[in-house]
Amino acid sequence: MMGNDNYNPSAILRPIVTPILEITTETPRTKAFTISAPSIAKEAVPGQFMMVWVPGIDEIPMSISNVNQDIEFAAARVGDATTRLHELKKGDLLGVRGPLGNGFVFPKTPEEKILLLVAGGCGSPPIAFAAAVAIRMGFVVDVALGATRKAELLFYKRFKGLETQGVRRLVVATDDGSEGLLGTAVDAATFLLDTDPAYSACFACGPEGMLVNLNSLLLKYSIPLQVSLERYMKCGVGLCGHCIIDMEGSRVCHEGPVFDAKLLKESDFGKVTRDATGKKEPIQFDSNAS
């Protein structure tokens, strides 16, 4: 199990109420929100998330997508809370708790310098943050980015911008072939691996079926994979047990959301998730697809 040494109990229990400083439309269904939360910004590492309280609607988990003196998250519009979020304007108030959960563990030894980062669909936020930090730490970074179509490639411009700063190769794939390869983020990763498989680690976030297929691919190359998982969350701090996956009682909000994929073998990974009531639902995906 990956460590979680980043907890600051007062920060995770008490929401900070803070105005939205900036809103940018990133794709037709995703907007990025910048807020000021210095205590979160000081501690956050790539892979961690915040519980974002949308006044009058709900409190929902959102990965941290960037940190400078301010903090950014990017929300796709899918239901009540995210629809309300998309209606908010600069200056409107949100509540945030965090940083929550663990983060990606970067390789330590100098010879382990090349990282593969894979983002599919709405999985770009923690991967964009990981890319920025990895470059600052001196890693060489390759990125595989996938989406249904060109317009949905989240943070595409940002990843392209990093090409001059430390992203060595950026390969994109779209389900409809409107940009890059015809296929998924796993096809983009396959392309990168075919040309140079010398990666010391891979960090990934995206639909769970994609993560399972990526895991099967990387096992062939013996490349260690860390995946960021999503489960329905209520408390976000390990108290309610709603986000438990069947692996020694691990809670995605507390022991995760980032897990070492090889430890997930006996868990719910790629098999079942839970709805808002706690009922188990099978995860459907094509295991023969790449």
Ligand X SMILES: Cc1cc2nc3c(=O)[nH]c(=O)nc-3n(C[C@H](O)[C@H](O)[C@H](O)COP(=O)(O)OP(=O)(O)OC[C@H]3O[C@@H](n4cnc5c(N)ncnc54)[C@H](O)[C@@H]3O)c2cc1C
Q: Which lies closer to ligand X via its Cβ, residue 75 or residue 244?
A: 75
The packing angle between helices 208-221 and 185-195, to 10°, is: 10
Which residue among 147, 214, 233, 264 contacts ligand X (CB under 6 A)?
A: 233
Q: Which of residues 113-132 bind ligand X (CB under 6 A)?
A: 122, 125
Q: Does 152 bind ligand X (CB under 6 A)?
A: no
Q: Which lies closer to ligand FES via its Cβ, residue 92 or residue 246?
A: 246
Q: Does 21 bind ligand FES (CB under 6 A)?
A: no
Taking the C-alpha atoms of residue 36 and residue 24, their distance in angstroms, rounded to an integer, is 16
Taking the C-alpha atoms of residue 161 and residue 153, their distance in angstroms, rounded to an integer, is 14
Closest CA to 18 of 48, 55, 66: 55
Binding mask of the shown chain, residues 207 to 246, with x at each position contacting ligand FES by CB under 6 A: --------------------------xxxx-xxxxxx---
Which residue among 2, 253, 261, 264 contacts ligand FES (CB under 6 A)?
A: 253
Instruction: Report how far Cα 152 is from the mean position of its chain's Cα atoms.
Output: 16
* Residue 82 site contact among ligand FES, ligand X, none (CB < 5 to 8 Å, cut-off depends on kind): ligand X
Q: Does 218 bind ligand X (CB under 6 A)?
A: no
Q: Does 13 bind ligand FES (CB under 6 A)?
A: no
Structure tokens at 42: 């000081």
Q: Which lies closer to ligand X via its Cβ, residue 81 or residue 189?
A: 81
Q: Does 154 bind ligand X (CB under 6 A)?
A: no
* Residue 104 site contact among ligand X, ligand FES, none (CB < 5 to 8 Å, cut-off depends on kind): none
Edge-to-edge strands, sheet with 93-100:
58-63, 49-54, 93-100, 16-27, 30-35, 71-76, 66-67
Structure tokens at 164: 């001059």
Collapsed DSSP state (helix, strand, coil) of residue 50: strand
DSSP 15: P
Taking the C-alpha atoms of residue 126 and residue 133, their distance in angstroms, rounded to an integer, is 11
* Residue 61 site contact among ligand FES, ligand X, none (CB < 5 to 8 Å, cut-off depends on kind): ligand X
Taking the C-alpha atoms of residue 164 and residue 153, their distance in angstroms, rounded to an integer, is 19
Q: Does 49 bind ligand X (CB under 6 A)?
A: yes
Structure tokens at 162: 């990093």
User: Which of the ranges 74-82, 89-97, 131-139, 167-175 carries the binding residues for ligand X, by CB under 6 A?
Assistant: 74-82
Taking the C-alpha atoms of residue 144 and residue 70, their distance in angstroms, rounded to an integer, is 27
In the complex, the residues that contact ligand FES under the rule CB under 6 A are 233-236, 238-243, 251, 253
In the complex, the residues that contact ligand X under the rule CB under 6 A are 49, 58, 60-63, 73-76, 78-82, 122, 125, 230-233, 257
